[in-house]
Structures are given as structure tokens and as C-alpha cells.
Amino acid sequence: MTQMTKDDWFRVASRQLVEHGEQGLTLAALTSAAGVTQGSFYHHFGGQAGFVEAFLAHLAARAFIDVSAAADEDSTTPAGARRALRRLVEIIAAEDLELEAAVRRWSQSNARVAEVVAEIDSRRGELLGRLFLVATGDPSRAAHLTRLNGTFYLGAVHSRPVVQGEEYARMARDLERLIEPPEATP
């Protein structure tokens, strides 16, 4: 029998959540999908509540680490912040946004999941806000662009089919034009 690691369980759970929603995260559904007995599950998580907390921590870390990595390089200059924002688009375009959509659907019926999603959204918004402020030098414009980009992202995730990959990248490049300072009028 194959030994399951926590990461193996998280991969199975991610697929189950996308394909079957919250119902795919029961112990029976997960072990059936993984083709293993319940022992490994209990070994790693202690039970369903422990699994949900570990899975949410995994999702939160992955969601924020991936996007914050884009700002690791020099994003203290307008040009550096614009590069970081472009890297964010590349990272997001490479992701399977179906999982994000499934987590957000799950958050509608589970208060703990809703808390984690709100925390992720807040951290992402803070990161975008900092980058847009450096890129534009205008706090009001930065706040507007942060909200606009957050709304675009959520719209992409909730669209059917989900807007992702090259289509997401093309749309984001169109939005990028808004970062440039407005033309001065004579």
C-alpha cells in the first residue's frame, strides 16, 4: 500500500474540492479517492477537524507565498513595483484558479473557511496596495487600482468557465495600462 504524505492528502483534497465541492472532503470521500485506508489520514491529522485546519493552513500559505514571492525583488521603485506586478500576473496566470473558486464556494457554507479567505484577501490587498502606491506615487490612485485589480481577480475566479492562463494574462495586461500616470493636459 502506498504511504500518503500530508502533501499527498492536500493534492487529493484539492482535486476533490474542485470536482465535488465540500462533500468531497469527507473522510470516506478522501480515502476512496486516494485509494487508501483511514489509518494514514488519522496518523497525519487526528481526525476531520485536524485535517480541515491543516488543509486551510496549506491553502493560505500557498496562496500568499506564491504572490508575495513576486515582490521579493526590488519593488521600492516605480519600475521595480511594475515588474513585481507583472510577475504577479504571471504567477496567477500559471495557477489553476478552479481551486480558488472551489475554496470560495466552500467559504459560503463554512465560517472557518470564510475567515481564512478573508485573511488571504486582506494580505493580498495589502501587498497590491503597497506595490500600486510605489508604482503610482498616489495613495488615492493606488487604493483605486488595488480595488479594481481585486475585483478583476475575483471576477475571473467566479466566471464560468474560470478566466485563467493566457486569457487572464491578456486581460491583466490591458489593466496594466491603467497604472501609467494620466497624460498631462496642456
Q: 144 CB contacts (<8 Å, ≥6 apart)?
A: none
pLDDT at position 181 is 59
pLDDT band at 182 (very low <50, low <70, confident <90, very high): low
At 88-110, the pLDDT tens digits run 888 888 888 899 999 999 999 99
In terms of DSSP H, where are the helices of 95-138?
Answer: 97-107, 111-136
* Cα 51 from Cα 10, distance rounded (Å): 9
2-6, 42-46, 52-56, 70-74: least confidently modelled range: 70-74
pLDDT band at 113 (very low <50, low <70, confident <90, very high): very high
Closest C-alpha among 40, 109, 96, 39 to residue 66: 96
At 1-26, the pLDDT tens digits run 468 999 999 999 999 999 999 999 99
Give me the mean pLDDT over the 28-50 stretch: 92
Q: Higher confidence at residue 170 or residue 1?
A: 170
- The percent of residues in the chain predicted with pLDDT above 70, rounded, is 89
Residue 12, number of CB atoms within 10 A of its CB: 22
**For the whole model, what pTM was predicted?**
0.85
Cα angle, residue 105 at apex, residues 118 and 11 outer, rounded to 5°:
90
DSSP result, 71-96: GSS--SSHHHHHHHHHHHHHHHHHS-
pLDDT band at 64 (very low <50, low <70, confident <90, very high): low
